[in-house]
Structure 1
């Protein structure tokens, strides 16, 4: 009888006492501040170098800042510069970036200077990648190394989680993104205690990372598009179609990824792979225009400020070219992440839908376009929903995004991801 009663009793997770969580606040806060300062430092240095390379330098040479010639010169030169770092700098700027995602592996400290230098050169030179993957990798390595050295009593497995959460909070300017990513990662692992107990320290790190970035860097993701009004049935249909179409386009790049990577890997040397990638990126920039350069966040703002300024064909061209540039840059060895250029692709697709069907509101098109492409490229459901929502800052779009994510997720789940194993096969 006692055994039957025990089997019928509800199972509840034990809540961690406050004394178990309080010692985690200081390490989490320190990681949050340091991770944000690393991100801000690399981003600021890269922006200053970009300003020189794409402003006073071509002006002094009498060459148009975004002329076809200068875009070719800069992208090939960036390939040579990053290739030299990968070839000669100790640590070779880390492992093949095609094998890395947001969940960074811990690297030895000797790798970090080369990885930071390669990332800064890439951000300034114009390839279509963002800072997220390498910055997370740098912050994870720093947190593990410094944490074990100065706070050895803190569990070693905690440092990578804190660094990832802190960097994501710093990148997006809010700890909510970090909490969502951590909760998604915890969903597939056995947990001790309640979810909020497990999220407490990462959320603290994300909050301090986000606050530090907000205070010193003033980031914003709101594109300032007209607010979506009361949704109608036609808005739901548009959301389903755009998100699904965007996810299908993203999956085209995902399926092509291992083949493009293998083609560049066949060149067998970074001083051949990266300049060749720069050459292809120069051709793509000549086709798509200068807005398809760089990580894409500032360029997304340019598109959003004038949704009527380009035709549907031009928006579609920019979306396809940017996705191809992302694919090439991630395959040939440039160190960078894929979230920010994917946001540009989704924005261009959404505005293309608006140009084709004016009844599709720009905010709805952008949000659902970004949602679909991010689901395909990152396979991170919460990040995709969160990013799509904050771009348009419209409460009415949330329900539409949740519904639109369902068919888009069915199109991408269980299929190859845009991340490779060490042997070159895609992760599923």
Structure 2
């Protein structure tokens, strides 16, 4: 007898009532505002220190601000300073940063001051890492500690989710990135209720984090590139080729990551690993120039303001040097994230493609290059799409990127990630 397929269909998950979601708004707001202030405070302090170290100080010493000598001195000094923090400050600035992604573990409160200090020194000194991973980790630890004491009846797993979403909202100036990351994290996990019910509290935290950052520091990711013209088949083909090529280039760094990490960790002590990393970064900076220093956001904007200002060879050198600097900084123990420097690598790669083939529109080349590089480095599909699209002011860019992401994702999925297990083997 034929079975009734309608009766066999599983019932849909019930929607949570409003009274079940309303109590999460106040904790989400508190975490969102606090996470944003931690991010803005650490970033502002690092920017002020960077201005001093790379401006008045070399001027007073009669040394060129971005001379080869000063870049070597500053990157070595940064390695020594961060090495001292990792060695001597309680908590040792957290676990090996090569083992941590965006989903940070909950660290004890005693670890957090050293982690934030090491991050600020790194941001000011010039290594090619961003603030995202350590600031997320600091906010996760702070939220779990304070939330567990002030609201002990609240589920403990809520605080890390709120802190991660709030920090992502603060970093990008919009809660959309937080919602996308949380959605991706929920994939394959058992959920109670509808997806939107599970996103409600993190999305609220991301919104409060984004609003606070916007009110305090007015962030923007949009680049001053020539506007994307009407998209045609040639643009689609160029985006697919550039994104796939960028993903393959990024996978070269991912493949090398465990070997470079092992080489630095054979030195065993942070006062050897980090200064050695600083010396290598100094050599890379001498090769690539000042634009290959720091996390890369202001440098990306400088590239975008004049996409015709460098030759294809210069863009290629900046691409390779910045990717190598990201690889070294992430391997030798500097505390930092990989998203922002990967954006610079992808931008330089896309502009190199435009310089080689003028038919590749700069906006399409940059967006596709950033997409492919982020897919390889982060393995976060939604974040890669969102970040690449956020750089370009064009309604047509998202459809272009969705198509370009398909072959690029096939090149990276199932392969090692730029993150290691504690035993040094790559995460897959």
Per-residue CA deviations over 1:23-74 (Å, capped at 9, x if unaligned) read 0000001000000000000000000000000000000000000000000000
- 2:391 corresponds in structure 1 to 391
Equivalent pairs counted in the alignment come to 427
- 1:43 corresponds in structure 2 to 43
Per-residue CA deviations over 1:316-356 (Å, capped at 9, x if unaligned) read 10000000000000000000000000000000000001101
CA deviation after TM superposition for structure 1 residue 291, in Å: 0.2
Q: d(CA) in 1 for partners of 2:413 and 2:113? A: 36
Q: d(CA) in 1 for partners of 2:251 and 2:395? A: 28
Q: d(CA) in 2 for partners of 1:270 and 1:53? A: 23
Please report the TM-score for the alignment, with normalisation by the length of structure 1.
0.99
1:58 has 2:52 as partner: no
- 2:120 corresponds in structure 1 to 120
- 1:359 corresponds in structure 2 to 359
- 8 Å CA contact retained: 1:32, 1:209: yes
Unaligned ranges ≥5, structure 2: none
- 1:295 corresponds in structure 2 to 295
CA deviation after TM superposition for structure 1 residue 393, in Å: 1.9
Q: d(CA) in 2 for partners of 1:331 and 1:251? A: 15
Please report the TM-score for the alignment, with normalisation by the length of structure 2.
0.99
- 8 Å CA contact retained: 1:229, 1:396: no
- 1:142 corresponds in structure 2 to 142
- CA RMSD, aligned part only? 1.1
- 1:403 corresponds in structure 2 to 403
CA deviation after TM superposition for structure 1 residue 10, in Å: 4.7
- 1:104 corresponds in structure 2 to 104
Q: d(CA) in 2 for partners of 1:96 and 1:9? A: 47
CA deviation after TM superposition for structure 1 residue 16, in Å: 0.3
- 2:93 corresponds in structure 1 to 93
Q: d(CA) in 2 for partners of 1:323 and 1:7? A: 55
| TM alignment of 1:277-292, pairs within 5 A | 277-292=277-292
SS in 1 for 2:92: coil
CA deviation after TM superposition for structure 1 residue 7, in Å: 4.0
CA deviation after TM superposition for structure 1 residue 226, in Å: 1.8
Per-residue CA deviations over 1:57-106 (Å, capped at 9, x if unaligned) read 00000000000000000000000000000000000000000000000000
- 1:327 corresponds in structure 2 to 327
CA deviation after TM superposition for structure 1 residue 224, in Å: 1.9
| TM alignment of 1:21-420, pairs within 5 A | 21-420=21-420
SS in 2 for 1:392: coil
- 8 Å CA contact retained: 1:165, 1:203: yes
Per-residue CA deviations over 1:349-408 (Å, capped at 9, x if unaligned) read 000011011111110000000000000000000000000000012111111100000000
Q: d(CA) in 2 for partners of 1:419 and 1:158? A: 25
